[in-house]
Amino acid sequence: MAESTAATIERLRQRMAEIPARSAGPVRPSLAALTCTDAQSESGEVELDALKRVEPSPIRALPVPPPIADLLPHRGLARGSTIRVDGVASLRAGLIATVTAAGGWAAVVGSPDLGLLAAAEMGADLSRCAVIEEPGPDPVAVAAVLVDGIDLILVSLAGADVPPSRARAVTARARRNGAVLAFTGGRWPATDVHLDARVAGYRGLEPGYGRITGIDLDVQVTTRGGHPRHRTVTLSGRGGHVDWIQATDDSGAIAPLRMAR
């Protein structure tokens, strides 16, 4: 059976206690984090023994895929912020790819629909990504521990409606530690940034024949108190590698098909 949330948190705290303290503020001169490529055993228990101390990360703001960077105030995700991520799983995979490829550390809590192969094809360093597939009934409690040592924490709320008082406490902890909390699949009372990506079309197909060579995404970024900003980007795949590029004007894309996201 899967390990209980309380047991998971206790083991996480024991590991986090071994990590050197991090300084506060947006600039992170020292950062220690946890990493594992497979944080769950066949029995479903979280294998925290696979987590280990890692070298400090020099990055300041967390990067995002280049075509959507200038839609954000800091061309990235400000440390200490809380974001909501909706739409296709490719957006979450892209965030993991850009953060880990830049030397940062990520954790995925829940999110069974997120394929790490897609993130690897986008350039992710999966040795810098901890995966907790079964966080128990309280994924927020697990995320609250991970903010002490991880740059980007992607959490599936599994439809939960998080109370404002609890959200404020976890948000304050993330801000104090310079982590970015990204939530999907539920409601968080207040977020700094809302990222949404929807399929706009497919490239490489002609009427009756062809194969998909790229997917166009309509990306919308909304910051707190700001107006939504849009951009169409293309995920282009070649030789097992996927690139994020700005969509060209001479759209070779056709209307979205009925395909699983």
Which one is predicted more confidently, 92 or 46? 92
> Quick one: pLDDT at residue 129?
93
Give the domain extent around 207: 195-254
The CATH number covering residue 25 comes to 3.40.50.300
Domain end call among 168, 194, 220: 194
Query: Which DSSP category does 248 fall into?
Result: P
The rounded Cα 59 to chain-centroid distance in angstroms is 16
Q: What is the pLDDT of residues 51-73, one digit of tens each?
A: 444 444 445 789 999 999 989 98
Could you tell me if residue 163 is inside a domain?
yes
On whether the CB atoms of residues 108 and 142 are closer than 8 A, the answer is no
Same domain, 205 and 128: no
Kindly report the pTM of this predicted structure.
Answer: 0.77
Residue 149 has a CB neighbour count (10 Å cut-off) of: 27
Task: Write the DSSP assignment of 39-57 as a string of letters.
Answer: -B-TTS-B-GGG----PPP
Nearest in space to 103 (alpha carbons), one of 81, 128, 66: 128
Tokens at 238, concatenated: 């070649």
Same domain, 173 and 211: no
Same domain, 170 and 81: yes
Could you tell me if residue 107 is inside a domain?
yes
pLDDT score of 241 more than 70: yes
Rg (CA), the chain: 18
> Quick one: pLDDT at residue 159?
85
Which one is predicted more confidently, 119 or 255? 119
pLDDT score of 167 more than 60: yes
Domain end call among 142, 159, 194: 194
Confidence of residue 136 (pLDDT cuts 50, 70, 90): confident
> Quick one: pLDDT at residue 247?
85
Domain end call among 161, 179, 194: 194
Could you tell me if residue 159 is inside a domain?
yes
Same domain, 59 and 154: yes
Task: Write the DSSP assignment of 154-204 as a string of letters.
Answer: EEE-TT-B--HHHHHHHHHHHHHHT-EEEEESSB-S--SEEEEEEEEEEEE
